[in-house]
Amino acid sequence: MIFIIMIIIIIIIIIIIILIIIIIIIMRYPDFLSSFPGFNEQMVDYNALVNDYGPDFDILAIPTNQFDQQEPGSNSEIPNQLTYVRPGEGYVPNFELTVKSEVNGIDEEPMYTFLKVKAQNP
């Protein structure tokens, strides 16, 4: 009888440890349950903006991996990730998508340096 109680206690402890580990992972990586961290739902909104404002309105999307690994794929993988993973469901952007770029730091794209300066001093 004591043996069975010990086994039950050990199983309960193991379950508690597993739950604690899962909670820690989700707290550390809040997007753990999604395919990739970050937000891509706005991509659908970008398509809508281009459709609403017509051919004289352009969006330039510049993927970067500098914010919590939001864009881990290579340049050739990014379009497939958008189409099949996030937002998925056959999504195809109707705006320009550049190659992955650095938006901060030593290797920052000059365009970002310019835009950040202009945003601070309009």
Number of domains observed in the structure of the chain: 2
* Bridge partners, 97 (sequence order): 61
12 and 66 in a single domain? The answer is no
Which pLDDT does position 32 carry in this prediction? 46
43 and 89 in a single domain? The answer is yes
Q: For residue 23, what are the domain limits?
A: 1-30
10 and 44 in a single domain? The answer is no
Three-state DSSP class for residue 62: coil
CATH number at residue 74: 3.40.30.10
59 and 101 in a single domain? The answer is yes
21 and 79 in a single domain? The answer is no
Mean pLDDT over 44-60 rounds to 89
Distance CA(40)–CA(20), nearest Å, equals 29
Which pLDDT does position 70 carry in this prediction? 76
Distance CA(20)–CA(32), nearest Å, equals 15
